[in-house]
Chain A
Amino acid sequence: MRALFTVFGKEFLENLRDRRTLVSALLFGPLFGPLLFGAMVSRMLDQSVAESDEPLKITISGAEQAPNLRRYLESQGVTLTLSSLSEDAARAAVQSRAVPVVVIVPRDYAARFAAAIPAPLLLVADSSDAPARKSADRVRQLIANYGSGIAQQRLKARGVSPLLAVPVAVNEIDVTTPTGRAVAVLGFMTYFVLFAVLMGGLYLAIDSTAGERERGSLEALLSLPVARSSIVGGKLLATCAYMCLSLAISLAAFVVVFRFVPLERLGMSANLGAGTALKFFAICLPFVPLGAALMTLVASFTRSYREAQTYLTSVLLVPTLPIAFASIYSLKAKSSLMLIPSLSQHLLMTSVLKDEPVVPLDVALSAGSSLGLALLLLVAIARHWRRESMLG
């Protein structure tokens, strides 16, 4: 037991002195998620605010054919640029993104309009360009409003009630709560939390196994009168310690970022204060030994630092698989899913974020399955370390 703590102390100290490792374990790993997240949500905010406030700007060709429409659009605050583009020229202009939206009024518009035959209009826009698509949607809506106004006048003029033309009226009721809407955006935040957990221990897991062998200090260490389980146990414990640190830093950063990102302006409310962060920490804690054991096991099998690095980068992606699966099939928290590590943590964190009640049994199952799997991996590690091939 004493040897275990000696190994732990030495690995902890050595890692602390390696600046490169420390940066990736305690800065890059835990802060990557919160910062990316903060930047993304801020950008989304800027965009949505800008889009609804900004006056709509469109280019219109042949406006002299439709003075009425032109007046209507201008009365709705649309800035019109008059031009006389042909259809091909309009296409080219939109494709090259010189102008976002072009409305073309064809030559026969006025005549058909006067004869009350559907008068054609061409709307040229690129639907793969998100802002242009939104502008086009707004133009389409405005023209539809204009059209229905004209239709009502025409019906009235012919002595028909305009209500006859509206047989059904749909009223939408959107039940999304502000928190629910936030969860859709925050869904992938849980992955960043698990990513931070793994990143915290990644380099230590490599350095204390493949690294130790490559440096040539492993054989001297293994020839000491110390049980190998104590040696590898101390290394695992140090890896877990850094993973917990990284998790704590990441959660603290999320709390700070959420304080500065005004999610309410997007019609969302984020339920991420210190209390939620503590719950997240507790939910993720059983994932720590599992991640440490997985990384240590993989790194123990590799021959060199570089090889270990290659394999462990793939290990970082392992927790994404169940989470990706869950979002494709929009899985909801239920007890059977609590047996899958990483997915169970994701679902529990999402529930906490949504302010849904968390079933204690689910928490127990999540922790139990993660710790159980960690134990299996620990047995595999202990076995591998007893083998002669460990010497390399």
Chain B
Amino acid sequence: MIEAGALCKRFGAIEAVREVSFVARDGEITGLLGPNGAGKSTTLRMVYGVLAPDSGSVRIDGIDMRGETSHARAHLGVLPHTAGLYGNLTARENIDYFGSLQGIGRKQLRARTAELVASLAMESFIERRAKVLSQGQRIKVALARALVHDPANLVLDEPTNGLDVMAIRSLRAMLKHLKSQGRCILFSSHVMQEVAALCDQVVIIGQGRVLAQGTLQSIRERSETKSLEEAFLQVLGPTGGFE
């Protein structure tokens, strides 16, 4: 479970995130939806602890990210906005590197990688250098890297950006599979259809604030519209989420 409580972050004169609070539960996919520049990445960076909030708190499975950073991070798998691989290492070496840095022993790591290879269908390219892999294969390796320590929580920042249709479809299937394992998944997107297709809970962000949150249905009901798109636009207001 990921809990964000009244997160605030400013960069100089810009208030990037203001009082953002939400809860992402286990066994659910929570979508952070908002236009570009709304503060999604900044919020997620605070969630996975590479940015320190000016005020507010982040708890991962109840562990405070600021007080016990390493402990909290160990419960978290992260796929950042730019999830680049090491081109000169094989897919397996990329995964092993992160696994080893997570403190997993050699034997255990071999077993865990075998599991990931099977569940993500990576048999055909696991020993190939990352630089020759296709987009879809790369995203699988990046995901396996984020899941190598078997975290209960997974954060993904715009994971479908720059992916082709096939890769997006297989990513969706993987996220649904991870959800069915009871994990808590939090991901951001500026594409409504994507959120509509995947999420149980939606948090709509604009101008660094939470504008609406709840299940897809409750948001639609509240804005009295049929489609999420209309609800999204209505929530953002006439300025489209910008001042």
Question: Which residues of A are at the interface with B, using a C-beta cutoff of 8 A?
Answer: 2-3, 6-7, 10, 13-14, 17-18, 215-217, 219-227, 388, 391
Contact = CB atoms under 8 A, between A and B. Distances in A.
Contacts of A219: 50, 80-82
Given A217-B83, A217-B85, 14 more contacts: A10-B86, A17-B88, A217-B84, A219-B80, A219-B82, A220-B78, A220-B83, A222-B50, A223-B80, A225-B69, A225-B70, A225-B74, A225-B103, A388-B52
Contacts of B97: 6, 10
B84 A215 contact: yes
Interface string B40-74: 00000100111110000000000000000111011
Contacts of A388: 50-52
A223 B87 contact: no
A13 B103 CA distance: 20
B100 interface: yes
A216 B83 contact: yes
B84 A223 contact: no
B49 A223 contact: yes
A216 B71 CA distance: 24
Contact of B101 (A6, A17, A216): A6
Contacts of B52: 388
A159 B147 CA distance: 112
B81 A14 contact: no
Contacts of B86: 10, 14, 215, 217
B59 to A, nearest CB: 16
Interface of B: 45, 48-52, 69-71, 73-74, 76, 78-89, 93, 97-98, 100-103, 142, 145-146
Nearest to A14: B88
7 contacts: A10-B89, A18-B88, A217-B82, A217-B85, A219-B50, A224-B102, A225-B103
Contacts of A225: 69-71, 73-74, 102-103
Q: Which 5 A-B pairs have the closest CB atoms?
A: A216-B82, A216-B84, A225-B73, A219-B80, A225-B70
A7 to B, nearest CB: 7
A391 B50 contact: yes
Contacts of B45: 391
Nearest to A17: B88
Contacts of A18: 88
B50 A223 contact: yes
Given A6-B100, A388-B50, A388-B51, A223 B73 contact: yes
B50 A215 contact: no
A14 B50 contact: no
Nearest to B47: A223
Given A217-B84, A217-B86, A223 B48 contact: yes
Nearest to A215: B84
Contacts of A391: 45, 50-51
A228 to B, nearest CB: 10
Most buried by A among B45, B85, B98: B98
Given A14-B89, A388-B50, A391-B45, A224 B84 contact: no
B49 A2 contact: no
A224 B80 contact: no
Given A217-B86, A225-B70, A7 B101 contact: yes
A135 B53 CA distance: 80
A391 B48 CA distance: 13
Nearest to A392: B82
Contacts of B74: 225
Contact of A224 (B73, B81, B89): B73
Nearest to B142: A220
Contacts of B100: 6
Contacts of B76: 223
A388 B42 CA distance: 11
A227 B70 CA distance: 8
A215 B87 contact: yes
Contacts of A215: 84-87
B163 to A, nearest CB: 14
A3 B70 CA distance: 13
A235 to B, nearest CB: 13
A174 B55 CA distance: 79
A221 B145 CA distance: 10
Contacts of A7: 101
Contacts of B83: 216-217, 220
Interface centre among A216, A224, A388 (most CB of B within 10 A): A224
B116 to A, nearest CB: 16
A98 B87 CA distance: 59
Given A13-B89, A388-B50, A391-B45, A220 B101 contact: no
Contacts of B48: 223
Contact of B79 (A2, A220, A221): A220
Looking at B69, B71, B86, B142, the one whose CB has the most chain A CB atoms below 10 A away is B86
Contacts of A226: 70, 101
A154 to B, nearest CB: 85
